[in-house]
Amino acid sequence: MITVTAPVWLWSGGQGSWHFLTIPPAQALEIKLEATAAGPRRGFGSVRVAATINAVRWTTSVFPQQSGGYILPIKADVRRRAGIAAGDEVTVTLDLV
């Protein structure tokens, strides 16, 4: 299990807006090491995870960034159930699936 505390941020562009949480390089390294041990990665270097915020658990993927970190998309249903919004600092736990 990997735990990250970071702010939720909003990206707007293209065909809408998306909410993300950035996973810093230190925790991203843990994800990379676990993912490498588990076998080949999915498209774009994404890694499947089960994420939990405020007791709300869902399955998604984290996507690599050029900076060495990953970003975690947080869909509207999850934000509503977890009671979070852009700008909120949240703690998320990630389990590779």
Q: Are 64 and 45 in contact (CB under 8 A)?
A: yes
pLDDT tens digit at each of 97 positions of the chain: 999 999 999 998 777 789 999 998 889 999 888 876 655 555 567 899 999 999 999 999 999 988 888 999 999 999 999 999 999 999 999 999 8
Q: Which domains does the chain have, with CATH numbers?
A: 2-96 (2.40.30.100)
Residues 6+ apart with CB under 8 A from 20: 8, 9, 10, 11, 71, 72, 73, 74
Other CB atoms closer than 10 Å to residue 1's CB: what's the count?
A: 9
The structure's pTM equals 0.88
